[in-house]
Structure 1
Amino acid sequence: MSANNTFSSYGSITKSFHWLTALLLISAVLLGLVANDLAHQIESPSFDGSPDVISRAVLLFSLHKTIGIAAFFTAVARIIWALSQPKPGLLHPENKPEALAAEVVHWLLYGAMVATPLTGWIHHAASTGFAPIWWPFGQDLPFVTKSESLSELFSMLHWMSSTTLQITFLLHVAGALKHVVIDRDSTLRRMLPNSGDLPLPPKQQHSALPAVLALVIWSAVLGSGVFLAQQAHDQNGQGADTAQVETAQAPTTGNWQVESGNLALTIQQMGSAVSGEFATWQAEITFDAPDSPGPAGQVAVEIDISSLSLGTVGDQAMGPDYFDTATYPTAQFDAQLEKTGTGYQAVGELRIRDKSQPLILPFTLDINGDSAKMHGQTTVNRLDFDIGKGTQDAGTLGFEVVLDISLTAQKTN
């Protein structure tokens, strides 16, 4: 069997690429479907936090991504090889509608073999808190920044590409079976090993029309993906903007009014930092700057836990084994403010779920007339609040959570 294609048959290299690509893509799609089902289970309010389910989901997603990367490079190599080879002619070129449909599907399938793993790879590189790709070359891509909006865009494009891949794959298989069952010709046999003597196709010319039509269809598919991602982003953005306005306008009985601020946290998931912030919270601050170290006032902060955005794991964080927002919708921090020899600190208790723990928050304070800016950072242990107690492996989900708080406040009286 020749390694190269001829006008009547495919060579051994083309056949190897064909079946290897099919095996990798089918495996990646099936693993992705099962992993997504587990992800939906984990994100559901009824999830009990089972570490076995979480570990299984991480394993399947890592397999899915690793096989997807292998499929991407295999598909690129296959296409490069195909462009260097003569293309065997159609056995029934006189059936022009069928010939056109077959070649359009062929080009769509080529595009899907590249677009599906590539969009998934970019989605992975733009995300934080992911099941890792199993290879030694890192998890990032050049020119791809960590961005939730970029991650959401390529998540949608990945879904659109994967759907296109599945549809065109089924059409491709249906066409191959038609040649076997109805036409009873050698079309499928040309792609099998040891295909034997094959008929010589009629003389024909390949048109550029199928490739052009496939490009138009791909433009519509990807354009629809961009539109849907933008719609989802606009809806989420409007909700976040509303929450920020409500936070800034929240009434207070203290003598300082919060004008703006960020209440952020960072966790470690699968060895990667995942950062997020609460959109809705309010603080009642009573503060009078003392001349020497000692009491300086008090603060009471109430946080709407459901307003937390935390990358791709935000929904999971709301579940029963984590924040359990259905039962415990808010968190509270009540503290006394103190001036120290080097700065300030808030000494009090942090309540999350039904657990309260002492907390000291050191912070810097810059007062300019009736305006003040503060920034503080501290670390808590999630297990102290029964958050993710079903996940006892720090490599999967780190125990320490970094809290980072900054705000600008205006004195009211």
Structure 2
Amino acid sequence: MSLSNTSSSYGSVTKAFHWLTALLILTALPLGWIANDLAHVLFDPTVTPTEAQIARAANLFSLHKTVGVTVFFVALARILWAVTQTKPGLLNADNKPEALAAETVHWLLYGSLVLVPLTGWFHHAASEGFAPILWPFGQNLPFVPKSLGLAELTGTLHELLMWVLVASLGLHIAGALKHHIVDKDSTLRRMLPGRSDAPQPPQQHHSPVPVVAALAVWVAVLTGGWAMGEFSHGRHDNGDHDHGDAQLAEVQSDWQIQDGTLSITISQLGSPVTGAFSDWTAAITFDEPDAPGPAGSVDVTIAIASLSLGTVTDQAMGADFFDATQFPTAQFEADLFKTETGYEARGPLTIRDKTMEIVLPFSLDLQDNTAAMSGALELNRLEFDVGTSQPTEDSLGFVVTVGVELTATRTQ
């Protein structure tokens, strides 16, 4: 059997690409569907998943992503090989409607083999943590930032384009079976392993109509998805959850915060996931002492429901984690001290119904009436009864890194 195609039959390389692609697709699709069903449990804040469920979903997603990336590279190699080869003609080229449908489906399949895994890869790169691709080449892509909005957009595109792939695959299989069983021609046999005595196809003319038809299908699917609102909401937030959002009032303070960031970083399945609270207040008194010693105080109130933590935001609000409905705020009341090497905020931190004495070291750049502060500390989530259903670090690490940066000006 020849490695290359002829005008009437496919070569062994093309056949190998065809059946390898089929095997990969028929592996990736069920892996993705099963993993997605498990994800509905993981991202439901009313349900507390077990570590076994999290591990199973992560493993399935990792396998799905790894197979998907493999599909992408195999598809590229297949397309590069195809452009160097003679394309065997259609045996039913005289049947114009059927030939048009067959070529349109082929264009949809080739395009989907690139677009579906590529949008899935973009979604993975834009997301933080959870289910890595099983390879040593890193998890990020150039020019693809970590962004929940971008992750939701590419995730929606991935899902819509996946249905185009599934429909095209179904039509492709139906067409092959129709040729084999009804028409009893050599269309299917010439793609099977081994030699096939396929007849010479009739003379045919290729037009751009199938390409235009395939593009029209993709546009119609994306337009339909937009009309149905698939692009207007988060994929993991159905908007029905009441987290007891606390509306924090402004506080009286000797120093007014001009801008600031209060962030947390967790470790999920060995990968860091960083989020931030958008609503928090700080009442600050501070006077620079001449020597190490007391320097003031700070009273920080944090609206728990204002946390954005990527795809696990809703889960973080659930009863086993922050339980934002019952405990809508966290509180840090601290005294400020100047030390030999810098500054510290020392006092009780209350999260949920647990209070712990903590020390937050920070640096301070004081210029006249403007102060720029930066600090960080590590907390153990179990000390605040956060995530007690996950008592090991198999899926969620114990350490939570808290970071704060702010610029404040002294009130006149």
Q: Structure 1 residue 119 and structure 2 residue 119: aligned?
A: yes
Deviations for 1:83-109, whole angstroms, at most 9, x for unmatched residues?
222222222222212211211111011
Q: Distance in 2 between matches of 1:128 and 1:214?
A: 34
Distance 1:256 1:230, change over 3 A: farther
Superposition map of 1:3-402 within 5 A: 3-194=3-194, 196-218=196-218, 232=232, 250-394=249-393, 396-402=395-401
Is this contact kept in 2: 1:43–1:319, CA < 8 A?
Answer: no
How many angstroms does 1:291 deviate by?
Answer: 3.7
Question: SS at 2:53's partner residue?
Answer: helix
Deviations for 1:252-279, whole angstroms, at most 9, x for unmatched residues?
1333333321101122223332211101
Q: Distance in 1 between matches of 2:196 and 2:289?
A: 94
Distance 1:233 1:46, change over 3 A: closer
Q: Distance in 2 between matches of 1:384 and 1:396?
A: 18
Is this contact kept in 1: 2:51–2:394, CA < 8 A?
Answer: no
Segment of structure 1 superposing worse, 20-29 or 256-265:
256-265
Letter in 2 for 1:14: T
How many angstroms does 1:217 deviate by?
Answer: 4.0
Is this contact kept in 1: 2:41–2:49, CA < 8 A?
Answer: no
Letter in 2 for 1:16: A
Large movers: runs of 4+ above 6 Å: 222-230, 246-249
Question: SS at 1:285's partner residue?
Answer: strand
Letter in 2 for 1:67: V
Is this contact kept in 1: 2:153–2:231, CA < 8 A?
Answer: no
How many angstroms does 1:55 deviate by?
Answer: 0.3
Letter in 2 for 1:163: W
Counterpart for residue 243 of structure 1 = none
Question: SS at 1:87's partner residue?
Answer: coil
Question: SS at 1:55's partner residue?
Answer: helix
Q: Distance in 2 between matches of 1:231 and 1:203?
A: 45
Aligned length: 405
Question: SS at 1:74's partner residue?
Answer: helix
Q: Distance in 1 between matches of 2:73 and 2:169?
A: 19
Deviations for 1:125-168, whole angstroms, at most 9, x for unmatched residues?
33321311112222233444444444333323322322221121
Distance 1:276 1:224, change over 3 A: farther
How many angstroms does 1:248 deviate by?
Answer: 12
Is this contact kept in 2: 1:261–1:406, CA < 8 A?
Answer: yes
Question: SS at 1:16's partner residue?
Answer: helix
Distance 1:220 1:211, change over 3 A: same
What percent of counterpart residues are identical? 56
Q: Distance in 2 between matches of 1:97 and 1:182?
A: 17
Q: Distance in 2 between matches of 1:365 and 1:247?
A: 30
Q: Distance in 2 between matches of 1:326 and 1:8?
A: 68
Deviations for 1:212-252, whole angstroms, at most 9, x for unmatched residues?
33245446656888999996489x9xx9xxxxxx9999421
Distance 1:274 1:25, change over 3 A: same
Is this contact kept in 2: 1:153–1:226, CA < 8 A?
Answer: no
Question: SS at 1:164's partner residue?
Answer: helix
Q: Distance in 2 between matches of 1:323 and 1:118?
A: 35
Letter in 1 for 2:366: I
Q: Distance in 2 between matches of 1:247 and 1:366?
A: 32
Question: SS at 2:37's partner residue?
Answer: helix
Is this contact kept in 2: 1:124–1:151, CA < 8 A?
Answer: yes
Question: Structure 2: which 5+ residue stretches go unaligned?
Answer: 240-244
Distance 1:224 1:137, change over 3 A: farther
Distance 1:364 1:222, change over 3 A: same
Letter in 1 for 2:95: N
Deviations for 1:70-93, whole angstroms, at most 9, x for unmatched residues?
211211122222222222222222
Deviations for 1:316-335, whole angstroms, at most 9, x for unmatched residues?
32233322223322211122
Is this contact kept in 1: 2:316–2:322, CA < 8 A?
Answer: yes
How many angstroms does 1:69 deviate by?
Answer: 1.6
Is this contact kept in 2: 1:153–1:229, CA < 8 A?
Answer: no
Question: SS at 1:361's partner residue?
Answer: strand
How many angstroms does 1:173 deviate by?
Answer: 2.0
Letter in 2 for 1:27: T
How many angstroms does 1:289 deviate by?
Answer: 3.7
Distance 1:334 1:392, change over 3 A: same
How many angstroms does 1:41 deviate by?
Answer: 0.7
Is this contact kept in 1: 2:296–2:337, CA < 8 A?
Answer: yes
Q: Distance in 1 between matches of 2:337 and 2:231?
A: 47
